[in-house]
Structure 1
Amino acid sequence: MDLLHPHSIHTGIRGSFQARRHTESMRRTQVDLEVVIPAYNEAARIPSTLVQTADFLAQQPWSSRIVVVDNCSADETGAVVRQISRNKGTAVPISVVGCSLRGKGAAVRRGLLSGSSKYTGFFDADLATPLNTLVAAMEHLEQGASAVIASRHAPGSTFVQPQQLGRRVGGTAFRVLTKSKVKGIFDTQCGFKFFERDALTAAMVQCRATGFAFDVELLQRLQHGGARIIELPVAWTDGAASTFRPFKDGISSFASVLQLQKAMQ
């Protein structure tokens, strides 16, 4: 066998990944839903987020786990989450995993693919999307949808607090750029997306983006695979503590999508 053959290399990497995922999954008891929260320097905000999320999930008919992905934080995010996870009063189990590759896309990928629950997904640590959106998301998933995503721009959606001008302008331009890439989707970037495991895995193993184009590529791969994607309009709150920088991050967003376009050709 040619050890330098690309297929052999890819198979070896994938086999290693599957073995690592299996090992990590074995450490976590089986649940119906895993909720992934990517976190970068969230030591101050994450305790409230975890308490609210755990209390909400404990009231639902499906079993759940929260998985926090510490994405190269420079603060005590990981230590804070571990301390909370050891708290016997926690309503649902909480796990924390690290991600050495910078970028929200990399962190989300790490969290989603490290589990084995039937349903999984992620939302941002600022809880900008109401937690009760999960109820409708799970209903659609249990009825056969492959993915359910929240939308700030679908008919019926509202902004609890108006976005800053820079974010509104940049967001509009980004939606124009991605409109032709993900058909029929009003908002590719809202930080709330949940999936049926098999459909997610089939799409995710093809994804390469780790930055702002991650959501676009994942939705695009899902659509190419024939997945049914449901978009839920939500009342979204633009968090004052958001780490998104309209100018610098906006440029990175456009560059990521342009690179994705070249890669998909």
Structure 2
Amino acid sequence: MSQVHLVVPCYRESARIGTFLPDLCALMDSLGGITVQVVEDGSGPEEQAKMRALITRWRGEYACLQETLLLPENLGKGGAIYASWSQAAESVEWLGFVDADGACPASEVKRLIQMTRSGEHGSQALFASRVKMLGRDVRRLLKRHLLGRVYATLVSELLNIPIYDSQCGLKVVSKKAYVGIADCLTIQGFAFDVELLVKLLDSHCRVIEVPIDWQEIPGGKVRLVHDAIAMAKDVWSIRQHRRQES
């Protein structure tokens, strides 16, 4: 049974994580061979103290849950995930992350991990995708759906990558594949997974999109217009760097 290290990146999430993390940890314990680490991404002393207290309590209930990784400053979602991935045990074969809000249900995390372990798809990375197909249930605000489609089209056209959804907050990547590209990853903000995807594909890794059930959760930290502009700039930067390397 392959070992999996799963990261839950958090920025001021202590008030929301309690509706998701216990369910996630219970399912991961049932699978076995999985470590779960919450990374608190520089939210400040008060918020980090709250998160540490929650995790300390839950660690007594769930074997998979590791001690919280407290970052002294805010690195961004990608930076928080990579900080934990880089510390994964040598025995770990797969690295993953899932958003703390529970928009991606714990049952879908379990399903993706089972897919990696089965090996039936022969992939080196599984990217969850919010697409209504194969009986999947996706519930999303219209304005966020439309903005997401614009961004996905931008990614596909500028980078010549036929992907439907690069931004869904659930991904599992082979540790071997990640180690091979880790030194080339420079983006730590919300567009980090676009760069991750590009580097995986350019290193000839097989990446598969997996449609999942997904539901919008209120209270997210993404600022639609501001963050969309920043992400678009990052995509353009990725395109320019890619051209220079080709």
Superposition TM-score, scaled by structure 2 size: 0.86
Change (3 A) 1:182 1:209: farther
Counterpart of 1:94 in 2: which secondary structure? coil
- Cα deviation per residue 1:125-175 (whole Å; 9 max; x = unaligned)? 01111222233322332314211111013743755433241x223211111
What does residue 80 of structure 2 align with? 107
Aligned equivalents of 2:75 and 2:147: distance in 1? 22
Q: Tell me whether 1:253 sits opposite 2:231 in the alignment.
A: yes
Counterpart of 2:96 in 1: which secondary structure? strand
Q: Tell me whether 1:196 sits opposite 2:169 in the alignment.
A: no
What does residue 156 of structure 2 align with? 179
Aligned equivalent of 2:65, options 87, 90, 93 = 93
Moved more, 212-221 or 146-155: 146-155
Change (3 A) 1:236 1:64: same
Moved more, 151-160 or 111-120: 151-160
Contact 2:127 2:208 in 1 (8 A): yes
Contact 1:159 1:238 in 2 (8 A): no
- Cα deviation per residue 1:179-231 (whole Å; 9 max; x = unaligned)? 14263321111010011111111122211111122111101111111111121
Amino acid at match of 2:50: V
Counterpart of 2:68 in 1: which secondary structure? strand
Aligned equivalent of 2:106, options 131, 135, 139 = 131
Moved over 6 A (4+): none
Q: Kindly, what percent of the aligned residue pairs are identical?
A: 26
- Cα deviation per residue 1:65-96 (whole Å; 9 max; x = unaligned)? 11111111136443234324433223423221
Max radius of gyration: which structure?
A: 1
Tell me how many residue pairs correspond in the alignment: 233
Where in structure 2 are there 5+ consecutive unaligned residues? none
Q: Tell me whether 1:233 sits opposite 2:206 in the alignment.
A: no
- Cα deviation per residue 1:102-136 (whole Å; 9 max; x = unaligned)? 31111111122221321110010011112222333
Aligned equivalent of 1:169, options 146, 158, 179 = 146
Counterpart of 2:149 in 1: which secondary structure? helix
